[in-house]
Amino acid sequence: MEQHRTILVADVEKYSRRNGDDQAKLQSALVESLDQGAEAAKLATFEWDRQKQGDGQFVVLPARTDPMTVLGPFVTALSKSLLVRQTATFRIRVRLSIHEGPIRLDGVNGFPGDHAVEPARLVGAQPLRRALAARPEACLGVIISERFFKDYVGQRPGGPPRDQFRRVDLVEKDKPYVAYIHLPGHNVHALDLSPTSPAAPTSPDRSDGDRDGPVYYVSGAGSNVATYGAQTNHQNFGR
């Protein structure tokens, strides 16, 4: 049975370039930042359905979660928590995708359905990577689905205004998507997100030196298994 939920996918930039000790620090920093952001926004993390991987998390939030609390207080607090962790010798930058829709929670190996696939694909979108590359001082890049943008942004108080989001059109796994990018504290409209911009990655598929991207098993089988990158790396976000 499907339930309407808000979904988050977080992914740490350039995780695979780090050694084992640094990766452990990045994991701790990511989890602590997500938890602190949730605490500040009064979101109960013990009710989160989290799939964990070293450099990311796929999170299904409780049914009663207010999406505007996620987009507003949570994103603001998460950005601040990441910012205070930056030092001369330690750097963590996170890509975050947000989506909402009906999702099945009964999958034996993840979450079946297109609404689980979409945020897993958006988190690795090239326009979001280019936006972060164009603003090296930014520590958080947010991308939200077209559905989430239309349903919530500017529809009622809370969260960034519509003019702080920039529409992007992209294709992931041969499927077109419309999404909206937001960089807290930065003017996303001033960024050159073209593939030929000075900040653009030299490779179209591996913009920040990550491996070909985390594999999010959000369905038991078939085309609804969400992956991105050139290769399938059979790592499971176990529940």
Domains of the chain plus CATH, in order, are: 2-224 (3.30.70.1230)
* Residue whose C-alpha is closest to residue 191's, from 136, 110, 123, 121: 136
What is the bridge-based pairing of β-strands 140-145 and 56-60? Answer: unpaired
Tell whether the model's pLDDT for residue 102 goes beyond 60.
yes
Mean pLDDT (the chain, rounded):
83
pTM: 0.83
What is the bridge-based pairing of β-strands 166-172 and 94-104? Answer: unpaired
pLDDT at 198: 62
Contact 98, 7 (CB under 8 A): yes
Tell whether the model's pLDDT for residue 216 goes beyond 90.
no
pLDDT at 214: 42
Alpha-carbon span 63 to 102, nearest angstrom: 10
Q: What is the pLDDT of residues 137-151, one digit of tens each?
A: 999 999 999 999 999
Contact 9, 97 (CB under 8 A): yes
Contact 92, 30 (CB under 8 A): yes
Q: What is the pLDDT of residues 110-164, one digit of tens each?
A: 888 899 999 999 999 999 999 999 999 999 999 999 999 999 998 888 789 999 9
Alpha-carbon span 227 to 239, nearest angstrom: 17
pLDDT at 159: 83
